[in-house]
Structure 1
Amino acid sequence: MEWRDEGIVLGTRRHGETSAILEVMTRTHGRHLGLVRGGRSRKQQPVLQPGNRVDLLWRARLDEHLGVFQAEAIEMNAARLMDSAVAVYGLQTMAAHLRLLPERDAHGGLY
C-alpha cells in the first residue's frame, strides 16, 4: 500500500533512539500517523515542526498498519509562527481540535 499527499504537521512523538511518529492532517487521507525513520536527526527535526507543510509518501504492507512516512518540506511555517504568541496559541488550538477527528477519515474542508 502506498500513497502520496500534501499535509500539515500537527505534532511528533519520539519512537526509539532515532525515529519519530509523525501526526499530519492531509487533504485526501485526513489525520494520519506514521513512522519517520531518522525523524530525530538534525536534518529532519526542522521539517517535522508543527505548522509546516510537507509532501508525504506513506508506505505500509497493509492499510491498517502504522506505515512509514517520507516527508519533504514544502513550506516552513513554524519559524514564522514562533514570532507571535497569538499564532503559537492558534496553532496549538488547531492541532488539539484536529486530534479529535477520527484517524484516516478525509475532511477536505478542514484542510
Structure 2
Amino acid sequence: MMRIVTPAIVVAMRPHGEHGAVVRLLTPEHGLQAGYVRGARGRRLRPVLIPGNLVEATLSARTETQLAQAMVEPVRSRAPLLQEPLPAAAIDWVCALTATVLPEGQPYATLYQALDGLIGAIEAAPAASGWGSSLVRYELLLLAEQGFGLDLGQCAASGATDRLVAVSPRSGRAVSAAEAAPYAGKLLPLPPFLVGGGTADWPDILDGLRLTGHFLSRDLLGDRVAPVEAARDRLIERLRRAAGTA
C-alpha cells in the first residue's frame, strides 16, 4: 500500500464526480502527484485547493498505479494574490505549466524549491518588476530539468564568454555580438541578467520570456500548447501593459 505524507504546492484541480476533484500536487521528494479529494468543491476545501497554495497532503493508494485518495490541510494560502490581475496571471501560468509538462512520480526537489520561491516572490512584491526575472529563470530551470537546457555560457561560434547578446533559436546556444551581427533579426535576444545576474528592467523581462517561450513551445509543450497557451498569453499581455505604465 502506498502512503505519502508531504508538504505540497497545488498546481492543478479538475472537477471529478459531483463534489470531488482530481488535484495535482508538486511535492519536494515525490514529484508531481495526483489524488482524488472528496468534497474538493465544498465550502471548506475549495479555497484550500487554489493553484499556488501550500498544503500538507496525505496520499493513499492500494497500488502505485491506482489514483490515490488525497487529504489536504492548508499551510499557506495565496488566495489574496488572485485579486490582483498580474500576480494571478503569473501563478495561473506557472502552475499550469508545471502540471502539464512534468511526468508524475519523479522527484524534482530543485523545481519544488524554485516554484515555492517564485510564488513567494510574487507574494512579497506584487509588481512584476520585482519577480519577472525569477519567472524567466524558473522557465529555464524547467527546460533544463526536462533535458532541454540552454547553453548561455559561451558563444556557439567562437567560444567567447563576453558580449553574449543573442541565442540561436535552433541550438539554444548563446551568440556573441560579433557573431550575431550578420544574423540580425534571426536570433533571439539574450537579456543581460541571464548572463551576468543582477536586476532586470521591463524590456529584459519581456526578452527573457520571449526566449523561454520559444523553447517551451518547441521542446516541452508541443501538442499540449492549446490547453495552456491561453494562460501564458494572458500573462504576457498583462506584463506588456504594466511595462507601458512603468
After superposition, where does 1:3-18 map in structure 2 within 5 Å? 3-18=4-19
Higher strand share: 1
2:103 aligns to what? 102
- Partner deviation per Cα, 1:46-104 (whole Å, 9 max, x = no partner): 1111111000000000012111000000001122x213222112112211321201111
- The 1-side partners of 2:15 and 2:93 are apart by 21
1:44 aligns to what? 45
Give the CA RMSD over aligned residues: 1.1
- Which of these two proteins has the greater Rg computed from alpha carbons? 2
Give the total of aligned pairs: 110
Which secondary structure does the structure 1 equivalent of 2:110 belong to? coil
1:68 aligns to what? 69
Instruction: Verify the 8 A CA contact 2:12 2:96 in the aligned structure 1.
Output: no
Instruction: Verify the 8 A CA contact 2:10 2:24 in the aligned structure 1.
Output: yes
Higher helix share: 2
Which secondary structure does the structure 1 equivalent of 2:47 belong to? coil
Letter in 2 for 1:90: A
The two structures have a TM-score, normalised by structure 2, of: 0.43
- The 2-side partners of 1:94 and 1:63 are apart by 27
2:55 aligns to what? 54
Structure 2 regions of 5+ residues with no counterpart?
Answer: 113-246
Higher relative contact order (CA 8 A, sep 6+): 1
1:90 aligns to what? 90
Which secondary structure does the structure 1 equivalent of 2:22 belong to? strand
The two structures have a TM-score, normalised by structure 1, of: 0.93
Letter in 2 for 1:51: G
1:23 aligns to what? 24
Deviation for aligned residue 1:43: 0.8
- The 2-side partners of 1:52 and 1:62 are apart by 27
Structure 1 regions of 5+ residues with no counterpart?
Answer: none
Instruction: Verify the 8 A CA contact 2:59 2:71 in the aligned structure 1.
Output: yes
